[in-house]
């Protein structure tokens, strides 16, 4: 029996469904973004002009959460694409963008959605996947994992770094790929971290599934085409 069942309800209006908005933001968080509590002193400075109720101010300074993305200048189109998808949800405010050297940054902070997502993602102060994977239902999540955390091994197999080195997070992600995309992967555990490895055939299938999404981003499409070219000649 499938643990992750996806989501197949069709939209009945031109409004973006909540499941779509949620998957976008969570996918970026599980890809290359950071999600952290804002230190109280910094939170006080950020919130002073927005909070009028003293009780609200104290609570919000203790619960303010920041979501931040970062991309190298050579992937500026990917950076812009991420911001576009986040803006389209209409859920996150207080956006700030800046550049440091060869890197572009964007951040958002709030005590609503981001605080809840952080609560879902942490259990006993450890980051876990079990409470968020049920909200991931499409190839978008897989595409972002490939772009942010994927690569080819010298054995010419796609490997995705899960970003974890503890727990059963890699196993949960393996189950998600099977249940939602019907792709088989092997969990590989090393001293450096936990990974998902796709064999030649599954790697080809994965690239085919995510290409329609990645085509929107030239720098990332080149990465996909390079991987496909290596797999063809392997």
Domain residue ranges in the chain: 15-136, 138-234
Q: Is-above-0.85 flag for pTM?
A: yes
The predicted model gives 112-134 an average pLDDT of 90
Q: Give domain 138-234's CATH superfamily.
A: Homing endonucleases (3.10.28.10)
Q: How far is CA 10 from CA 4, 14, 27, 143, 232, in A?
A: 18, 11, 21, 22, 37
Q: What is the pLDDT of residue 234?
A: 58
Left if phi > 0, otherwise alpha if psi is -120 to 50, otherwise beta: which for 119? Answer: alpha
Q: How far is 68 from 74, CA to CA, in rounded Å?
A: 18
Left if phi > 0, otherwise alpha if psi is -120 to 50, otherwise beta: which for 24? Answer: alpha
More confident residue, 192 or 142: 142
Strand partners, 150: 160
Q: Number of helices (H) and strands (E), helices first, in the chain?
A: 9, 10
Taking all residues of the chain, what is their mean pLDDT, rounded to a whole number?
Answer: 90
The predicted model gives 178-199 an average pLDDT of 95
Q: How far is 166 from 193, CA to CA, in rounded Å?
A: 8
Q: Please state which CATH class domain 15-136 belongs to.
A: alpha beta
Number of other residues whose CB lies within 10 A of the CB of residue 163: 19
Radius of gyration over alpha carbons of the chain, in Å?
19
The predicted model gives 77-101 an average pLDDT of 96
Least-confidence region, from 22-26, 70-74, 89-93, 225-229: 225-229
DSSP helix/strand/coil, 93: coil
The predicted model gives 195-212 an average pLDDT of 95
Q: Give the chain's length.
A: 234
- For 141, half-sphere exposure in the C-beta direction (CA atoms, 13 angstrom radius) is 24
| 138-234 and 15-136 share a CATH fold | yes
């Amino acid at each position: 029996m499938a643990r992750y069942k996806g989501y197949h309800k069709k939209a009945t209006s031109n409004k973006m469904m909540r499941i779509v908005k949620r998957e976008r933001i969570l996918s970026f968080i599980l890809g290359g973004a950071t999600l952290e509590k804002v230190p109280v002193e910094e939170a006080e400075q950020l919130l002073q002009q927005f909070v009028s109720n003293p009780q609200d101010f104290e609570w919000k300074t203790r619960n303010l959460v920041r979501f931040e993305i970062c991309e190298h200048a050579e992937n500026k189109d990917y950076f812009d694409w991420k911001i576009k998808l986040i803006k389209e949800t209409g859920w996150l405010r207080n956006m700030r963008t800046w550049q440091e050297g060869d890197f572009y940054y964007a951040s958002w902070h709030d005590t609503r959605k981001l605080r809840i997502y952080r609560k879902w993602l942490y259990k006993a102060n450890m980051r876990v996947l079990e409470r968020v994977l049920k909200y991931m239902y499409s190839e978008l999540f897989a595409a972002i994992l490939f772009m942010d955390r994927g690569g080819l091994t010298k054995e010419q197999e796609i490997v995705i770094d899960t970003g974890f080195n503890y727990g059963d997070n890699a196993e949960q992600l393996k189950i998600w790929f099977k249940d939602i995309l019907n792709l088989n992967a092997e969990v590989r555990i090393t001293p450096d971290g936990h990974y998902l490895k796709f064999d030649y055939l599954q790697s080809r299938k994965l690239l085919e599934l995510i290409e329609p999404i990645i085509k929107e981003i030239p720098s990332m499409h080149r990465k996909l085409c390079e991987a496909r070219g290596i797999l063809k000649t392997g």
